[in-house]
Amino acid sequence: MSGATKVVTSVKYAYLIGFFALLSGIFYPFIQGGAIDYTILGVVILFVGLAGGILVYKAATSEKRRGVYIGIGFGLIAISLAYILQFTGRSVF
């Protein structure tokens, strides 16, 4: 990988991290004066799903480790879904 490609990849992932942090409402506790612990938990849950999505994407573009990426990627997405269901008070099973 060249230096320019590494920079573009880093910026891409930094953009995704920032987007998911804002999507989960990182500013809500500061504006409303609420607790920040639920917001941090929401960001972590979204990052687990994001990591799974990135691995599924890499499975589509990789020839060598396609099975590993698909298995771990969908596993992380399922874990993220289970966390969301627990967080909202619904039963996982």
Q: Please give the structure tokens belonging to residue 6.
A: 């590494």
For residue 93, tell me if it sits in a domain.
Answer: no
Average pLDDT over residues 77-90: 90
Q: Which residue has the tokens 């994407």?
A: 57
Structural domains in the chain (count): 1
Residue 89: pLDDT above 90? no
For residue 37, tell me if it sits in a domain.
Answer: yes
More confident residue, 18 or 79: 79
Give pLDDT, residue 52.
95
Average pLDDT over residues 59-86: 92
For residue 92, tell me if it sits in a domain.
Answer: no
How far apart CA 30 and CA 49 sit, in angstroms, is: 25
For residue 56, tell me if it sits in a domain.
Answer: yes
Give pLDDT, residue 51.
92
For residue 8, tell me if it sits in a domain.
Answer: yes
For residue 33, tell me if it sits in a domain.
Answer: yes
Instruction: Report pLDDT digits (tens) over 35-53.
Output: 778 878 888 888 899 899 9
Give pLDDT, residue 93.
64
pTM for this entry: 0.71
Enclosing domain of residue 65: 3-87
For residue 54, tell me if it sits in a domain.
Answer: yes
Contact indicator for 18, 41 with CB cutoff of 8 Å:
no
For residue 30, tell me if it sits in a domain.
Answer: yes
Give pLDDT, residue 79.
94
